[in-house]
């Protein structure tokens, strides 16, 4: 009886206890080595029964029960394999989905960054356009432009300014950014040398903003990449109309200050400038002189040739005066055929030499208008601050009186 009970325990209870108490890791080992376990589970009971049990029929029962356990175990292992495969596929699928989601997240983040960058750009543009619409002064607009683009491109812009160019000569440099090392002389030098120096050219951007009598060229010294240049050009295109408007206002202002015939400053504006200059001269203990010119026998020219020729003569005389004076001073049409020249810093002798050069140039000039050869002369008078007077009105009066003395002395003279 005892061997039969022992056999029952071995082939029924023991496998159950083994399966119940085994963990997954060990189960994997059993699964890999189950052929050996099946063999032992079948051989041991059969061997025991063969020697201990008299009724050999029990051996068949034992074999049948053992095979049944093996079938159950195999079914269990097959189900485990199915579940394992299903779980593995699910894990693979989820892993792939995670990768796709990570890729989409990266793309969305990139798009979000691009949108944020574009939003900042358009916000700056909108703010800049508002500033431009509220101002007409070219200096104010240029400064606001510099502030906005510098905040959008930090440490990339070294200098921004506007060049006023006639033919190949720079008439004026209007800085928009702090000049720093880029003073006007260096700007002129770099701009003129850019066609010869590739390294310099790569660091300079030029944009023609407007052109009529002069070219207005926006010039930028920079450290941009190619992509940044494209973005910077967007700023220029969106604000160009504001620059053009301010340039037109500037030109209208210039026209209100200059004589339409001669291009010299008008009397009203010139007098205001002289009052500013005398304040500066007082503050810094500087000297200056005034030269008053008048065309000799101008009425005779009008009476002989007509007012059209008279205008031609005025224009020619103004051109000679302006060219001879150059950067040494300022010139104005004082009234009729009279001209007033302001010359700072120079001594009386130097101013007299300048006045004589003007007088001689006009005396030697042969003007020709539609076959009429016209020779003219001018007379002049000079007054100086502070030697002759310390008020503008008195200085102008003295220059006019000395001009009159030149007329009385025979004309074609300069009196000091």
Query: Strands across the sheet with 288-295, in order?
Result: 330-335, 338-344, 288-295, 378-385, 414-415
- Beta-carbon contacts of residue 150 (< 8 Å; ≥ 6 apart): 156, 157, 177
Query: Comparing C-alpha atoms, which of 304, 296, 402, 293 is closest to residue 343?
Result: 293
- Active-site positions read 337
Structure tokens at 53: 């049990």
User: Minimal CA–CA distance to 302: which of 341, 337, 272, 255?
Assistant: 337
CB 402 within 8 A of CB 382: yes
**DSSP 3-state of 265:** strand
CB 305 within 8 A of CB 415: no
Does the N-terminal peptide bond of residue 386 adopt cis geometry, omega within 30 degrees of 0? yes
Quote the CA–CA distance of 416 and 399 in Å, as a whole number. Answer: 8
Q: How many CB atoms lie within 10 A of CB 239?
A: 22
Instruction: Report how far Cα 259 is from the mean position of its chain's Cα atoms.
Output: 37
Closest-CA residue to 359 (of 334, 339, 378): 378
pLDDT of residue 42: 64
Nearest-angstrom CA–CA distance, 183 and 143: 16
pLDDT tens digits for 173-214? 888 887 665 667 777 777 666 544 444 456 788 889 888 878
Residues of the chain whose pLDDT is less than 50?
A: 17, 20-25, 195-200
How do strand 378-385 and strand 367-369 relate by DSSP bridges?
unpaired
Q: Which of 211, 251, 221 is nearest to 146 (CA)?
A: 221
With CA atoms as reference, report the closest residue to 202 among 218, 224, 217, 184. 224
The confidence score (pLDDT) of residue 384 equals 95
Residue 33 CB-density burial (10 A; 0-12 exposed, 13-18 middle, 19+ buried)? exposed
**Cα–Cα distance between 84 and 165 in angstroms, integer?**
82
């Amino acid at each position: 009886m005892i061997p039969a009970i022992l056999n029952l325990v071995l082939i029924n209870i023991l496998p159950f206890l083994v399966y119940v108490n085994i963990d997954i890791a060990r189960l994997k080992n059993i699964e890999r080595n189950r052929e050996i376990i099946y063999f032992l589970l079948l051989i041991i009971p059969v061997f025991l029964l063969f020697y201990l049990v008299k009724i050999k029929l029990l051996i068949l029962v034992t074999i049948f029960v053992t095979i049944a356990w093996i079938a159950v175990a195999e079914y269990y292992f097959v189900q485990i394999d199915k579940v394992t495969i299903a779980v593995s596929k699910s894990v693979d699928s989820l892993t792939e989905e995670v990768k796709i989601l990570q890729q989409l997240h990266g793309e969305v983040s990139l798009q979000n960054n691009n949108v944020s960058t574009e939003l900042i750009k358009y916000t700056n543009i909108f703010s800049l356009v508002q500033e431009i619409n509220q101002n007409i002064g070219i200096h104010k607009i240029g400064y606001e432009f510099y502030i906005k683009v510098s905040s959008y491109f930090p440490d990339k812009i070294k200098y921004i300014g506007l060049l006023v160019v006639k033919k190949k000569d720079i008439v004026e440099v209007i800085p928009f950014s702090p000049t720093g090392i880029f003073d006007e002389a260096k700007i002129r030098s770099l701009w003129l040398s850019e066609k010869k120096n590739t390294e310099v050219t790569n660091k300079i951007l030029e944009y023609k903003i407007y052109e009529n009598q002069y070219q207005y060229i926006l010039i930028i010294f920079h450290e941009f990449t190619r992509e940044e240049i494209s973005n910077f050009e967007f700023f220029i295109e969106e604000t160009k109309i504001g620059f053009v408007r301010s340039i037109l206002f500037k030109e209208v202002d210039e026209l209100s200050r200059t004589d339409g015939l001669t291009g010299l400053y008008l009397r009203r504006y010139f007098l205001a400038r002289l009052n500013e200059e005398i304040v500066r001269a007082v503050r810094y203990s500087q000297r200056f002189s005034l030269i008053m010119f008048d065309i000799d026998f101008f009425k005779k020219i009008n009476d002989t040739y007509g007012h059209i020729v008279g205008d031609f003569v005025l224009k020619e005389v103004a051109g000679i005066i302006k060219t001879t004076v150059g950067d040494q001073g300022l010139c104005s049409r004082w009234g009729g055929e009279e001209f007033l020249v302001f010359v700072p810093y120079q001594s009386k002798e130097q101013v007299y030499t300048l006045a004589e050069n003007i007088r001689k140039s006009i005396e030697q000039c042969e003007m020709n208008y539609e076959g009429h050869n016209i020779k003219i002369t001018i007379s002049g008078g000079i007054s100086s601050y502070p030697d002759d007077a310390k008020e503008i009105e008195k200085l102008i009066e003295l220059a006019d009186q000395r001009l009159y003395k030149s007329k009385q002395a025979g004309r074609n003279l300069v009196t000091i």
